Amino acid sequence: ITKAIKLAEENRSEALIIMLDTPGGLSESTWEINSEILSSNVPVVMYIAPRGARAGSAGVYITYSCHITAMAPQTNIGSAHPVGAGTQQPDSILSEKITNDAVAKIKTLANKRGRNIEWAEKAVRESASITEYEALEMGVIEYIADDIDDLLRQIDGDTIEVISGDVVLNTKDARVNEIDIGFANRFLEVISNPNIAYILMVIGMMGLYFEFSNPGAIVPGVVGGISLILAFFAFQTLPINYAGLALMIMAVILFLLEIKVTSHGILAIGGTISLFLGSLMLIDSDLPYMQISLSVIIPVVIITAGFFLFAIYFAVKAHKRKVATGEAGLIGETATVTDMTDGKGTVFVHGEYWQALGTEDFPQGERVKIIGIEGMFVKVDKL
């Protein structure tokens, strides 16, 4: 929105129309957007559209900050009661402070734009919501428009006060230029979905775990690193609970310890529980659209726990596997005698000739068992 306002100012546009359909958002972002709109030299028109759209929570504050507000048919606005970002269950005093601050902000906007103050306060304190016709009748919005062209015809000739003074809109036959938000913003919009950000973080953890437990695999490490970077990039737009993040990191540590410590699966169970609890706590918001869906958490936890247990199984199996290289790898192997005199000679094993000490003289071609290593000699005995 900030870039769009600057572009509209540079192009000396008649107005900037924002089409809004949102359940809400973070308070900090909302106040920043409001500040940009209030400081704009171009009239900013809020259009809650298309049909079926809503301006919920943060959308109410942004709507009230705009110079002109309009709604399409079958839309609604309201439910602006704030939730305490950073505290899952804010105490009564903190909750009251947050609510009073939000009420003061929206009343200031209502006074500035000459809109309904009483309903604005009710929307914040009681989460009141109204339809487009109720909003028009109550003075919450100025217009109901079927589409952009209808809106442009209705606002034509309006006198609007912007930061630099009054301007008269000439929009009846205005040409509409759509502003593309760009690939970066679209991509951020996708990964900022709490479910997507959560999955990216889990993929990152799995990839790095696999890379550290199997050095040189490269691909899992690269994929894991990129996924983690994208996840943390998305987290900057989400209310993260760091206790939940710590629990998820703890889960990985417990899975790693399961390889090193004989716990008979206790550490793995603890890691699974820690992963599940961390997933539930990761996003710190009471808003449903800002939370990770349980239908995503459960399969992700099951798949992730299965992945770690699978990796642990093969890691333990590899640690227990008999050494197959070097001198130690020869013990227990079968060798072929090439010559043997007075208990000394040579044997052929693993494609190599070794000097050998026998418990007795073995004839050429006899198969013997290597029972030990003594200096540069292998000790052999009959099978």
Model confidence over 2-24: pLDDT tens digits?
899 999 999 999 999 999 998 88
Give me the sheet containing 68-71, strands edge to edge: 16-20, 44-48, 68-71, 143-144
> DSSP alpha helices (H): ranges in 127-169?
132-138, 148-155
pTM to 2 decimal places: 0.65
Q: CA-CA distance, 41 to 24, in Å (whole number)? A: 26
Catalytic residue numbers read: 57, 97
- Proportion of the chain above pLDDT 70, given as a percent: 92
pLDDT reported for residue 205: 87
Q: Are 337 and 368 in contact (CB under 8 A)?
A: yes
Evaluate whether 2-177 and 328-382 have a shared fold.
no
Q: Which residue has the tokens 């192009």?
A: 11
Residue with tokens 């390889």: 259
Which fold is adopted by the domain 328-382? OB fold (Dihydrolipoamide Acetyltransferase, E2P) (2.40.50)
What is the phi-psi region of residue 78: left when phi exceeds 0, alpha when psi lies from -120 to 50, beta otherwise?
Answer: left
Residues 2-177: name the CATH superfamily: 2-enoyl-CoA Hydratase; Chain A, domain 1 (3.90.226.10)
pLDDT in the model for residue 239 = 79
CA angle 117, 121, 126 (to 5 degrees): 145
CA–CA dist 16, 291 (Å, integer): 32
User: Hey, where are the domains in the chain?
Assistant: 2-177, 183-320, 328-382
Helical H runs in the chain? 2-10, 27-38, 58-65, 92-113, 117-126, 132-138, 148-155, 182-191, 194-213, 219-235, 242-260, 266-281, 294-320
DSSP lists the bridge partners of residue 159 as 168
Over residues 125-138, the pLDDT tens digits come to 998 999 999 999 99
Contact by Cβ (8 Å): 161, 155:
no
Neighbour-count burial of 62, counting CB atoms closer than 10 A to its CB (0-12 exposed, 13-18 middle, 19+ buried)? buried
